[in-house]
Amino acid sequence: MNDRNDKTESTAGGDEVALFADGACSGNPGPGGWGVLLRCRGREKELSGAEPATTNNRMELLAVISGLEALKRPARVRVCTDSQYVMKGVTEWLASWKRRGWKTADRQPVKNVDLWLRLETALAPHHVEWQWVRGHAGHPENERVDRLAAAALAHLKLTGDRSDP
């Protein structure tokens, strides 16, 4: 089922949700789009959106955030992404960034702190497992969310409208 307006329902205690996410950018920085596919109990929901001035990394982050924020209740979530930046950011770098006051190992400010904080909040109620897939390598769901991100970007360029096409 493709229901773009309602939040995906999961029961307390945690349904299993598969979240496939991707971002796209035309120029980096430039206009960008993101796409998400949520799958739970045999049902599917697609989400997408766009920003007029952004980066690919921001779109990758926003895709995962948007998918997690669409969940109504705590769930066991498998996030599938082709973004090493997002996956390693959460699983390897986030704790160190926070300990260092949002600085990288070489004392530079962490980019996209606003989205990392939002992602941390979105992750909190869920049990999340991360899976990396190679982008543009024929993974069906990754190709699907890539098309959603590209369609959102194209819609933005054509109409100036950032909402889900």
Question: How would residue 162 be classed by pLDDT, with cut points 50, 70 and 90?
Answer: confident
Assess contact for 35 and 47: CB atoms under 8 A.
yes
Q: Which CATH number fits domain 16-158: 3.90.1150.10, 3.30.420.10, 3.40.50.300, 1.10.3720.10?
A: 3.30.420.10
Between the CA of residue 66 and those of 25, 56, 61, 71, 156, what are the distances in Å? 17, 15, 9, 9, 18
3-21 confidence digits (pLDDT tens): 333 333 433 456 999 999 9
Assess contact for 40 and 20: CB atoms under 8 A.
no
DSSP 45: E
The set of catalytic residues is 22-23, 60, 82, 136, 146
Q: CA 70, CA 62: separation in Å to the nearest integer? A: 12
74-119 confidence digits (pLDDT tens): 999 999 999 999 999 999 999 999 999 999 999 999 999 999 999 9
Structure tokens at 24: 């796209």
108-157 confidence digits (pLDDT tens): 999 999 999 999 999 999 999 999 999 888 889 999 999 999 999 999 99
What residues does each domain of the chain span?
A: 16-158
